[in-house]
Structure formats: C-alpha cells, structure tokens
Chains A and B, each alone.
Chain A
Amino acid sequence: MVIVKRRELSLAEKLYLPEIGRALSLSLRAMFRKRVTRQYPEEPLPTNEVTRGQPRLVVKDDGNIACVSCGMCEVACPAYAITIDGGETDRAIEREPVRFDIDMLRCILCGFCEEACPKDAIFMSNELELADFSRQALVYDIEKLKRPRSALQKRIDYVYRLNDRWRKPSSTR
C-alpha cells in the first residue's frame, strides 16, 4: 500500500487570491511572448535539400531533358504513378520520352524513381503544394515536370554526397 503524503497548503495558497494573481501574471506575460503560429500560405514551411518533395525532371544546360526513357523509374515506382512512352531523337543521345506522366495523386514521394534513375534525370524537388480542381489536372506531363538543372542542383549534390560511398570514382557527373 502506498500512502501519499499531500503537501499542506500554506495560508496564502488556501486564500486562492495570491495564487490567482500569480496565474494572471503568468498569462499576461504569455501574451507578449513570441507567437508560434506560422501564417501558412504567406509563410511557407522552410525546406532544404533533404526535403523529399514531388519528383521533377532535370533539363540539361543544352535545353533537352536528361531522361532517355529507359523505364527504370517506371518499374521502381511502387505506386505505379509513372507512365513513359519512349521516342527517338536525331541527337547523339538517341532516346527521349515522348510522354512522361506522373500522377501526383498516386505518387507517394518515396524517392525510388530518383534512386533508380541511371541518368540523373529525375530528382525530388522541394515543391510540396498540390491542389487543383480535377484529378486529371494533377497528372503532370513533361512540360509541368521540367525544371532547369540549376533549380535542382542542391538536391543533386545532396544525393551525390549520399551515394558517394557506393559510386566508382570515374562515374560521370
């Protein structure tokens, strides 16, 4: 059996009023403390290169996308969010996708496509917001997925740092 010894209240505590005064001063001081609210649409959540946002396609410096429509990401995707139709080009790199759709409503932002890609063509961006009025509008095509390499550079560097221990020194970058 446990006998709980309750503390005897002092006279000031029994009178309530001094304690109420203390409580009131506490809440008054709270009113002037720093606010913790984030005004979301105006003040977005801070992101960095570790943020795993929506996947985006890299546009190389020559203006073409880096994707060669090999289909690795399509296979890797656990949510079947990616659909690729390949096509030919006249350039040295002969293949590019004629269709590259990611259904953002299916995408679970797991980053498997980024890991699977052999050509550094798809990376997780820091873009997180996803809202529209129809399901169809949220199936993103190439034009909506394209991002210049510079916009994704931080993430690319981060992924390279992560993978450096498995990468051979001679690999292209």
Chain B
Amino acid sequence: MPTLPLWAVWVIKAAVIYGALLGVAALMSLAERKVSAWIQYRIGPNRVGPFGLLQPLADGVKFIFKEELIPDGANPFLFRIAPALAALPAMLAIAVIPFAGEVELFGQRTNLSVTDLPISSLYVLAVGGLGIYGIILGGWSSNSKYSLLGGLRAAAQMVSYELSLILSILAVVALSGSLDLRVIADAQQAPDVLWNVARQPLAFLLFVVCMFAETNRHPFDFAESEPELVGGFHTEYSSMRFALFFLGEYCAMTVMSCLATVLFLGGGAIPFWPEAPWWAALACFLAKMSAFLFLYLWVRWTLPRFRFDQLMNLGWKVMLPLALLNLFATAALIALEVY
C-alpha cells in the first residue's frame, strides 16, 4: 500500500466519518419508521429495496424535488439559514468522538477519529449547544405563532437541561481527571476498572434523560409537539430545508449516543478482551452506539410527552439538585480516595 502524506489521511478519515454520520442519520429515518411499526404490530416500509433499505434515498429525492415555500413576513435570510444552523453543529461535534484507538492507515499511524483535542468533551458540549440556535431562529423567523412558541420552548428546555447534562458529565470528568474523551474512554478499558456506568449510575441516568431533552426527542420534544404546536419550529418549513432539521436531529442523536458510549460504556472496550484489535473495538463501539440510538426510538414510541410545567419541574427541581449532589458526592469520594 502506498504511503500517503498525513494530511491526506486526515482528509480520508474526515470524509469517511462524515459519510458514515450522514449514512447513520439516513438509516435512522428508516429505523424510526420501522421501530414505530414494530411496536404497533405493523411491518413498516418494505417496498423500496430489500427491507425498505432504500427508503431514505427515495425520501431524499422527494424532499429535493418538493416546492419550497417561504411564508409572507418571514425574515428570508434567517429563515434560510436556520436549518443549516440546526444541522451543522451536530456534524461538527462528531469530529472529536474517539471511535477506536491507533490504526495503521496508508502507512501512517493515526487515531480513528477526525481529530483529538485535549478538551474534546468541552468542545462537544459547546458545539452541540449551538444546535439550539437553528431551532430558535427557525421558530422566530417563520413569522408564525406556533413556530415562535416552539422556538421559545426549545430555548427554555435547552437552558434547563444543558445544566444537568454538563454536571453529569463533569462527574465523569472528575473521575477520569481529563476533559479528553479519548482519555476518558481509555481509562475504562483497563481490565480491573469498571465502566463508568457502574461507577456513576446516577450520572448515567441523568445523562440519558438529559440526552433526550438535548436532542428534542420524546418525551421532551416540546419544540415540535405536533398536537399542540402543529410541528413547532418547523411548521412553516418545506422541502429540503425541512429535511435538514431532521438530518440535524438525527445527527445530534448519533453524536449524543457516541458521547454516552464514550463517557459511560468505555468506548470500544470489550469486557474480558483487553487486547481486542481495532476493528473489534470499532464494531463494539458501533454496537453500543446503536443500542443508544435504539433506546431513543424505543422511548419515543413508548412514553407520552410531558406537560411543559412538568418538564420545567423535572429539570430544575429534580435533575439539577441530583446532578449537583452527584457531582459533590463524586468529588468527596475522590478526595477521600475511595475511587
């Protein structure tokens, strides 16, 4: 195999990982319909390709050829840019997810992630948090009551749950002593160390709940809430811009699942097989990620939506104190050298 320069390897890695992310997002749109069908004793889309696997392609073509409407009185610039703002942050955040350890790629030794940052967990949260701007702007610029309400709710929800999310992650960070996702993942790979899900069960629980709220998924999808707000922030959107919101949502779900895998399930760690080759670790990582993605769908088709005041109560009166308590307890246990 020819030896490629380092930058070429980076470009290849980035292209493959972004391609995979978009592929996962496309498959999620199919999986969503399939899982909903299974839970309701139905079969789901199965006409386009084997098991309906080409359905996302057909949907994509349909979205592209649909007419695009911009409502009267909408702010055209913000209206046009909002879907991109909603989709982009999730795609950026995937860059620092450590999928697997060092691999030999075209004669270069390189880590299997687009890039490694010493503050990668901070980066994921910072960039992922930007996604809400797309939703708020989309809601506000549509010049529609429903959209505005959806955007407002998204903002309020974001503020309430981002706090608990970060606090729950902070407990894990305190445990590993590093903000680097790769260090956090590697710390759980040692054979005598339990995964963080066992060492930090409360943080895991809080993270999973906040994960749903962060990505605006059931039972916290107040920004959309189709019965009350007829689609919320994307009421007025059509064509590919509408699809972009969904692309963003699915990408955000994928990133959050990756994050949960890295933080709490030890990344690609396989129990009782510490010297697993990189491809096994990668497969294991993807399996864990898929489990979280399935959880998203599973919960969506099981639980009803909260009421908005319940959401706020849960966020401020339950999740936040619990997260603070958990962080405090973790810090105390580390100080007492129990961990």
Contact = CB atoms under 8 A, between A and B. Distances in A.
To the question of whether A and B form a pair in one complex, the answer is yes
B303 A20 contact: yes
A2 interface: no
Contacts of A24: 298-299, 302
24 contacts: A17-B205, A20-B302, A20-B303, A23-B302, A24-B298, A24-B299, A26-B302, A27-B39, A27-B298, A27-B301, A27-B302, A30-B38, A30-B39, A30-B40, A30-B41, A31-B39, A33-B41, A34-B41, A35-B41, A36-B42, A37-B37, A37-B41, A37-B42, A39-B43
B43 A23 contact: no
A33 B303 CA distance: 19
B42 A35 contact: yes
**Interface size band for B:** 10 to 19
A28 interface: yes
Interface of B: 35, 37-43, 205, 298-299, 301-303
A33 B37 CA distance: 12
A105 B39 CA distance: 39
A112 B228 CA distance: 50
Contacts of B38: 30-31
Contacts, number: 33
Interface in A1-54: 17, 20, 23-24, 26-28, 30-31, 33-37, 39
Interface string A121-138: 000000000000000000
A28 B298 contact: yes
Contacts of B42: 35-37
A34 to B, nearest CB: 7
Nearest to B35: A31
Nearest to A36: B41
A121 B202 CA distance: 78
Given A31-B39, A35-B41, A37-B37, 15 more contacts: A17-B205, A20-B302, A20-B303, A23-B302, A24-B298, A24-B302, A26-B302, A27-B39, A27-B302, A30-B41, A31-B38, A36-B42, A37-B42, A37-B43, A39-B43
A76 B173 CA distance: 85
Nearest to B219: A20
A28 B35 CA distance: 10
Contacts of B43: 35, 37, 39
Contacts of B39: 27, 30-31
Contacts of A36: 41-42
A132 to B, nearest CB: 22
Contacts of A37: 37, 41-43
Nearest to B46: A39
A26 B303 CA distance: 11
Contacts of B298: 24, 27-28
A27 B100 CA distance: 33
A17 B41 CA distance: 25
A37 B45 CA distance: 11
A49 to B, nearest CB: 30
B211 to A, nearest CB: 14
Contacts of B35: 31
A33 B35 CA distance: 13
A31 to B, nearest CB: 4
B303 to A, nearest CB: 6
Contacts of A30: 38-41
A27 B294 CA distance: 13
B288 to A, nearest CB: 18
Nearest to B299: A24
A27 B39 CA distance: 6
Q: Which of A20, A26, A27 has the most CB of B within 10 A?
A: A27
A36 B38 CA distance: 10
B218 to A, nearest CB: 12
Contacts of A27: 39, 298, 301-302
Nearest to A28: B298
Contacts of B40: 30
Nearest to A32: B38
A34 B41 CA distance: 7
Contacts of A31: 35, 38-39
A23 B298 CA distance: 10
Nearest to A26: B302
